[in-house]
Amino acid sequence: MSRPELQAPPEIYYGDIEAKKYTKNTRNQQIQADMTYRALELLNLPPDEPAFLLDIGCGSGLSGEILTEEGYIWAGVDIAPSMLEVALEREVEGDLFLQDIGQGFGFRPGSFDGAISISVLQWLLNAETSHPTSSPPHRLSRFFTTLHSALRNPSRAVFQFYPSSDDQIQLITSCALKAGFGGGIVVDYPNSNKAKKVFLCLFVGGGGQQQMPKGLESEVEEDARARFERRRERVRSKDKSGKRKHMKDKDWILHKKELYRKRGKEGVPNDSKFTGRRRRPAF
């Protein structure tokens, strides 16, 4: 099934039905809670001290409820009105703002003691229009620059997200560093395809004294048999001629090119009557 961020913009994808469906799903609730607790651990706030946190992409308030339980005051921003409506119905305790984070924040400098974000950053990697201000680099730059201003010195921001490539990780990290942040990527369970989780841990100030946290390690390595079975499944996806089934026909090529354009990739060839045309075999 295609990833949500590739199907539609978040404010459209999370309409009334999907917002309620997502919130009521017990598996989503558990994943959101686990990731929020881990983000708070990486945030490394002083124990037994009050803090005002920003929940970026707060959605229906699943992560915000964890912040409340842990004794923090928080404000949440999200671009999907339906998600915020569900959060209001659930009477979460944070202040809620309707906000496109790709356009940046308007908070006073030093407003927050820290920030967390669960499963949001990858949404900024899609360009919804051809306008230069909609490109992923521009939106990421605006987002990180205004977030840096909104955080006090020193503080941290922790983002759990789902990159689809190393290039995306590099783009996100470079935009954050250019905005003035320190820090980098923390990967939990890097040897497990199922449990692997990627976190971007950013620092504001601290005079270089803030240390990068370490990722969690898998207790059990994936065995060779599982890797072989996945390889066998890939082989089975090919037909008798050795070509992948339903791959690289015209519709597939047009679909991929459209995805690349939405992600802001440069140099995507224009569509023409020759797109997807089969070449004659060479003799």
- Mark whether 149 and 256 lie in a shared domain: no
Query: Given this model, what pLDDT does residue 121 score?
Result: 97
Residue 211 counted as domain residue: no
**pLDDT score recorded for residue 253:** 78
Of 172, 204, 236, the residue that ends a domain is 204
Ranges under pLDDT 70 in the chain: 1, 207-209, 218-249, 252, 256, 259-260, 262-265, 278-283
The predicted model scores a pTM of 0.76
128: in domain: yes
> pLDDT tens digits, residue range 156-205?
999 999 999 999 999 999 999 999 999 999 999 999 988 999 999 999 99
Contacts of residue 65, defined as CB under 8 A and 6 or more positions apart, other chains included, come to 92
Q: Is residue 18 part of a domain?
A: yes
214 domain residue, yes or no: no
Amino acid present at 267? G
Instruction: Provide the residue range defining the domain that includes 266.
Output: 223-283
Q: 159 and 246 share a domain?
A: no
What pLDDT does 259 receive?
64
Q: DSSP string spanning the chain?
A: ---GGGTS-HHHHS-HHHHHHHHH-HHHHHHHHHHHHHHHHHHTPPTT---EEEEET-TTSHHHHHHHHTT-EEEEEES-HHHHHHHHHTT-SSEEEE--GGG---PPTT-EEEEEEES-GGGGG--SSSSGGGSHHHHHHHHHHHHHHHEEEEEEEEEEE--SSHHHHHHHHHHHHHTT-EEEEEEESTT-TTT-EEEEEEEE-STT-PPPPPPP--SSPPPHHHHHHHHHHHHHTB-TTSSBTT-SSHHHHHHHHHHHHHTT-S-PPPP-TTTTPPPPPP-
Q: In what order do the strands lie in the sheet with 52-56?
A: 95-98, 73-78, 52-56, 112-118, 151-161, 197-204, 182-188
- Among 204, 232, 264, the domain boundary falls at 204
Q: Is 196 found in the same domain as 151?
A: yes
Q: Is 282 exposed, middle or buried (0-12, 13-18, 19+ CB in 10 A)?
A: exposed
Q: HSE (CB half, 13 Å, CA atoms) of 41? A: 14
Residue that the structure tokens 């997502």 belong to: 22
Question: The domain that contains 131 carries what CATH number?
Answer: 3.40.50.150
If asked whether residues 133 and 256 sit together in one domain, one would say no
Examine residue 281 and state whether it is found in any structural domain, yes or no. yes
**274 and 172, same domain (yes or no):** no
Q: Are residues 116 and 227 in the same domain?
A: no
Burial class (CB in 10 A: 0-12, 13-18, 19+), 100: middle
**Residues 176, 52 share a domain:** yes
Closest CA to 94 of 117, 71, 65: 65
Q: Do 241 and 189 lie in a common domain? A: no
pLDDT of res. 245: 41
- Structure tokens given for 176: 């954050």
Q: Are both 44 and 178 inside the same structural domain? A: yes
**Do 134 and 269 fall into the same domain?**
no
Instruction: Look at residue 67 and tell me if it is in a domain.
Output: yes
Largest CA distance in the chain: 77
Report the pLDDT value the prediction gives residue 42, as an integer from 0 to 100: 97
Domain shared by 196 and 268, yes or no: no
Instruction: Give the chain's domain count.
Output: 2
* Whether 200 and 235 share a structural domain: no
| Residues near 56 by beta carbon (within 8 Å), at least 6 away in sequence | 76, 77, 101, 115, 116, 117, 120, 147, 159
